[in-house]
Protein backbone atom coordinates (compact mmCIF):
# COMPACT_ATOMS: atom_id res chain seq x y z
CA UNK A 1 0.00 0.00 0.00
CA UNK A 2 1.39 3.41 -0.99
CA UNK A 3 2.46 5.64 1.83
CA UNK A 4 0.99 9.08 2.31
CA UNK A 5 3.22 12.01 1.33
CA UNK A 6 3.79 12.77 5.02
CA UNK A 7 4.81 9.20 5.80
CA UNK A 8 7.10 9.06 2.78
CA UNK A 9 8.84 12.22 4.00
CA UNK A 10 10.02 10.22 6.99
CA UNK A 11 10.83 7.04 5.05
CA UNK A 12 14.32 5.57 5.11
CA UNK A 13 14.81 6.61 1.50
CA UNK A 14 13.93 10.21 2.24
CA UNK A 15 15.99 10.33 5.42
CA UNK A 16 19.06 8.91 3.72
CA UNK A 17 18.67 11.30 0.83
CA UNK A 18 18.76 14.29 3.15
CA UNK A 19 22.01 13.28 4.81
CA UNK A 20 23.94 11.64 1.98
CA UNK A 21 25.60 14.86 0.80
CA UNK A 22 27.30 15.77 4.09
CA UNK A 23 31.11 15.80 3.88
CA UNK A 24 33.91 16.40 6.32
CA UNK A 25 36.13 19.44 5.55
CA UNK A 26 38.84 17.53 3.66
CA UNK A 27 36.29 16.11 1.20
CA UNK A 28 36.13 12.55 2.59
CA UNK A 29 32.73 11.00 3.11
CA UNK A 30 31.97 11.01 6.84
CA UNK A 31 31.62 7.21 6.86
CA UNK A 32 35.34 6.74 6.18
CA UNK A 33 37.77 7.76 8.90
CA UNK A 34 41.51 7.93 8.64
CA UNK A 35 43.35 5.09 10.37
CA UNK A 36 46.27 5.48 12.72
CA UNK A 37 48.75 5.45 9.87
CA UNK A 38 47.07 8.39 8.11
CA UNK A 39 47.89 11.14 10.58
CA UNK A 40 47.82 14.76 9.44
CA UNK A 41 47.34 18.22 10.89
CA UNK A 42 43.66 19.03 11.30
CA UNK A 43 42.62 22.30 9.63
CA UNK A 44 41.06 24.88 11.88
CA UNK A 45 37.64 24.27 10.31
CA UNK A 46 37.70 20.70 11.58
CA UNK A 47 38.14 21.86 15.14
CA UNK A 48 34.85 23.79 15.16
CA UNK A 49 31.55 22.08 16.02
CA UNK A 50 29.74 20.86 12.90
CA UNK A 51 26.07 21.20 12.06
CA UNK A 52 24.19 18.05 12.91
CA UNK A 53 26.59 17.03 15.67
CA UNK A 54 25.71 16.85 19.34
CA UNK A 55 28.24 16.76 22.13
CA UNK A 56 28.42 15.08 25.53
CA UNK A 57 31.12 15.85 28.07
CA UNK A 58 32.31 13.79 31.00
CA UNK A 59 35.18 14.53 33.33
CA UNK A 60 38.63 15.84 32.40
CA UNK A 61 37.17 17.97 29.59
CA UNK A 62 36.73 15.09 27.12
CA UNK A 63 33.88 15.68 24.67
CA UNK A 64 32.21 13.29 22.23
CA UNK A 65 30.13 14.65 19.34
CA UNK A 66 27.56 12.43 17.65
CA UNK A 67 27.86 12.75 13.88
CA UNK A 68 24.68 12.64 11.80
CA UNK A 69 22.59 13.57 14.82
CA UNK A 70 19.90 15.11 12.59
CA UNK A 71 19.32 11.72 10.91
CA UNK A 72 19.27 10.00 14.29
CA UNK A 73 16.71 12.51 15.57
CA UNK A 74 14.43 11.96 12.58
CA UNK A 75 14.48 8.21 13.18
CA UNK A 76 13.98 8.77 16.91
CA UNK A 77 10.85 10.85 16.24
CA UNK A 78 9.14 7.96 14.45
CA UNK A 79 10.65 5.20 16.58
CA UNK A 80 14.05 3.78 15.60
CA UNK A 81 14.10 0.04 14.96
CA UNK A 82 17.21 -2.07 14.43
CA UNK A 83 17.07 -5.38 12.60
CA UNK A 84 18.87 -8.23 14.35
CA UNK A 85 19.59 -11.60 12.74
CA UNK A 86 21.34 -14.85 13.59
CA UNK A 87 24.17 -14.04 11.18
CA UNK A 88 24.48 -10.45 12.43
CA UNK A 89 23.17 -7.23 10.89
CA UNK A 90 24.89 -3.85 10.69
CA UNK A 91 23.26 -0.90 12.43
CA UNK A 92 21.46 1.76 10.43
CA UNK A 93 22.02 4.53 11.21
CA UNK A 94 25.52 3.63 12.36
CA UNK A 95 27.26 5.30 15.28
CA UNK A 96 29.92 7.82 14.24
CA UNK A 97 31.56 10.30 16.61
CA UNK A 98 34.23 12.96 16.93
CA UNK A 99 36.26 13.17 20.14
CA UNK A 100 37.81 16.29 21.66
CA UNK A 101 39.81 17.07 24.78
CA UNK A 102 42.13 14.04 24.76
CA UNK A 103 45.77 14.31 25.76
CA UNK A 104 47.57 14.42 22.38
CA UNK A 105 50.41 12.02 23.23
CA UNK A 106 48.45 9.63 25.43
CA UNK A 107 47.22 6.32 24.01
CA UNK A 108 43.50 5.52 24.06
CA UNK A 109 41.12 2.76 23.07
CA UNK A 110 37.71 3.76 21.70
CA UNK A 111 34.95 1.21 22.19
CA UNK A 112 31.19 0.76 21.97
CA UNK A 113 28.66 -1.45 23.69
CA UNK A 114 24.86 -1.63 23.67
CA UNK A 115 22.90 -1.78 26.92
CA UNK A 116 19.18 -2.10 27.80
CA UNK A 117 17.17 1.08 28.31
CA UNK A 118 14.75 -0.72 30.63
CA UNK A 119 13.80 -4.21 31.80
CA UNK A 120 10.67 -4.47 29.62
CA UNK A 121 9.74 -6.67 26.67
CA UNK A 122 7.47 -5.10 24.06
CA UNK A 123 4.75 -6.36 21.72
CA UNK A 124 4.44 -5.49 18.03
CA UNK A 125 2.20 -2.57 19.04
CA UNK A 126 5.00 -1.35 21.33
CA UNK A 127 2.97 -2.04 24.42
CA UNK A 128 4.79 -3.49 27.43
CA UNK A 129 4.38 -7.26 27.17
CA UNK A 130 6.17 -8.15 30.39
CA UNK A 131 9.48 -7.99 32.19
CA UNK A 132 12.67 -9.61 31.00
CA UNK A 133 15.95 -10.78 32.49
CA UNK A 134 19.00 -9.23 30.82
CA UNK A 135 21.41 -10.83 33.28
CA UNK A 136 21.82 -13.89 31.06
CA UNK A 137 23.53 -11.76 28.39
CA UNK A 138 26.67 -9.82 29.32
CA UNK A 139 27.03 -6.69 27.16
CA UNK A 140 29.81 -7.22 24.67
CA UNK A 141 32.47 -4.57 24.20
CA UNK A 142 33.45 -3.80 20.61
CA UNK A 143 36.92 -2.23 20.45
CA UNK A 144 37.41 0.05 17.46
CA UNK A 145 39.97 -1.68 15.19
CA UNK A 146 42.23 1.42 15.10
CA UNK A 147 42.81 1.09 18.86
CA UNK A 148 45.06 1.98 20.52
CA UNK A 149 45.89 5.37 19.05
CA UNK A 150 47.21 8.63 20.39
CA UNK A 151 44.73 11.27 21.45
CA UNK A 152 46.07 13.48 18.66
CA UNK A 153 45.23 10.85 16.03
CA UNK A 154 41.74 10.12 17.36
CA UNK A 155 40.86 13.82 17.41
CA UNK A 156 41.76 14.19 13.72
CA UNK A 157 39.21 11.72 12.40
CA UNK A 158 35.59 10.72 12.48
CA UNK A 159 35.41 7.47 14.45
CA UNK A 160 32.95 5.14 12.74
CA UNK A 161 31.41 2.00 14.19
CA UNK A 162 29.74 1.01 10.92
CA UNK A 163 31.23 -2.50 11.10
CA UNK A 164 29.39 -3.33 14.32
CA UNK A 165 26.82 -6.10 13.82
CA UNK A 166 23.83 -6.97 16.00
CA UNK A 167 22.69 -10.55 16.49
CA UNK A 168 20.07 -12.49 18.44
CA UNK A 169 22.27 -15.60 18.45
CA UNK A 170 23.24 -16.08 22.09
CA UNK A 171 25.89 -18.61 20.99
CA UNK A 172 27.57 -16.16 18.61
CA UNK A 173 31.35 -16.61 18.39
CA UNK A 174 32.10 -13.90 15.83
CA UNK A 175 32.22 -10.99 18.26
CA UNK A 176 28.85 -9.53 17.26
CA UNK A 177 26.81 -7.67 19.87
CA UNK A 178 24.14 -10.00 21.26
CA UNK A 179 20.68 -8.52 21.87
CA UNK A 180 17.15 -9.78 22.43
CA UNK A 181 14.35 -8.97 19.99
CA UNK A 182 11.53 -6.57 20.99
CA UNK A 183 13.61 -4.81 23.63
CA UNK A 184 14.84 -1.22 23.90
CA UNK A 185 18.58 -0.50 23.88
CA UNK A 186 21.06 2.35 23.61
CA UNK A 187 24.65 2.33 22.36
CA UNK A 188 27.39 3.79 24.56
CA UNK A 189 30.76 5.09 23.41
CA UNK A 190 33.72 4.59 25.75
CA UNK A 191 37.04 6.45 25.77
CA UNK A 192 39.53 4.24 27.60
CA UNK A 193 43.03 5.33 28.57
CA UNK A 194 45.64 2.69 27.80
CA UNK A 195 46.82 0.78 30.86
CA UNK A 196 50.04 -1.23 30.71
CA UNK A 197 48.67 -3.70 33.27
CA UNK A 198 46.44 -5.43 30.71
CA UNK A 199 45.77 -5.72 26.99
CA UNK A 200 42.45 -3.99 26.38
CA UNK A 201 42.20 -5.52 22.90
CA UNK A 202 41.62 -8.92 24.53
CA UNK A 203 39.05 -7.99 27.17
CA UNK A 204 35.30 -8.36 26.77
CA UNK A 205 34.12 -5.96 29.47
CA UNK A 206 34.97 -2.46 30.64
CA UNK A 207 37.93 -2.01 32.98
CA UNK A 208 37.25 -0.52 36.40
CA UNK A 209 39.46 2.54 35.87
CA UNK A 210 40.36 5.03 33.15
CA UNK A 211 37.01 4.91 31.33
CA UNK A 212 34.78 7.79 30.26
CA UNK A 213 31.37 6.82 28.89
CA UNK A 214 29.04 8.78 26.58
CA UNK A 215 25.52 8.11 25.31
CA UNK A 216 22.90 10.01 23.32
CA UNK A 217 19.16 9.76 23.86
CA UNK A 218 18.38 10.00 20.14
CA UNK A 219 20.32 6.79 19.45
CA UNK A 220 17.95 4.61 21.50
CA UNK A 221 16.30 1.90 19.42
CA UNK A 222 14.04 -1.14 19.59
CA UNK A 223 15.30 -4.48 18.26
CA UNK A 224 13.18 -6.35 15.70
CA UNK A 225 13.62 -9.25 13.29
CA UNK A 226 11.51 -7.39 10.70
CA UNK A 227 10.48 -3.74 10.63
CA UNK A 228 7.23 -3.09 12.51
CA UNK A 229 7.06 0.59 11.51
CA UNK A 230 5.90 0.90 7.89
CA UNK A 231 7.60 4.28 7.59
CA UNK A 232 10.93 2.49 8.07
CA UNK A 233 10.03 -0.47 5.86
CA UNK A 234 9.25 1.75 2.84
CATH, residue 167: 2.60.40.820
- Asked, for residue 18, whether it belongs to a domain, the answer is yes
Q: Which whole number is the average pLDDT over 183-200?
A: 89
Cβ atoms of residues 176 and 88 within 8 Å: yes
pLDDT tens by residue, 126-165: 666 666 766 667 788 999 999 999 999 999 999 999 999 9
Q: 131 CB contacts (<8 Å, ≥6 apart)? A: 119, 120, 121
Structurally, how many domains does the chain consist of?
1
Closest to 157 measured CA to CA, from 53, 72, 38, 68: 38
C-alpha–C-alpha distance, residues 148 and 201, integer Å: 8
Domain that holds residue 55: 5-39+50-233
- Asked, for residue 195, whether it belongs to a domain, the answer is yes
Q: Which whole number is the average pLDDT over 7-17?
A: 46
β-strand 177-178 against 165-167: which pairing, if any?
parallel
Instruction: Check residue 54 and give its pLDDT.
Output: 53
Q: Give me the half-sphere count of Cα atoms (radius 13 Å) on the Cβ side of residue 32.
A: 7
Helix (H, G, I), strand (E, B) or coil at 133: coil
pLDDT band of 234, cuts 50, 70, 90? low
- Asked, for residue 44, whether it belongs to a domain, the answer is no
Amino acid sequence: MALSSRAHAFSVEALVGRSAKRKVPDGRDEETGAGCRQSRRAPEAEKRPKAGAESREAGAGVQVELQGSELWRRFHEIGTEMIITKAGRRMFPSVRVKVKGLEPLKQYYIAIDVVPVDSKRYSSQWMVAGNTDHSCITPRLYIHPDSPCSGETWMRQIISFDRVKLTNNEMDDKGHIILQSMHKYKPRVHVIAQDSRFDLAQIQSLPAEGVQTFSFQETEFTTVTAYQNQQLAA
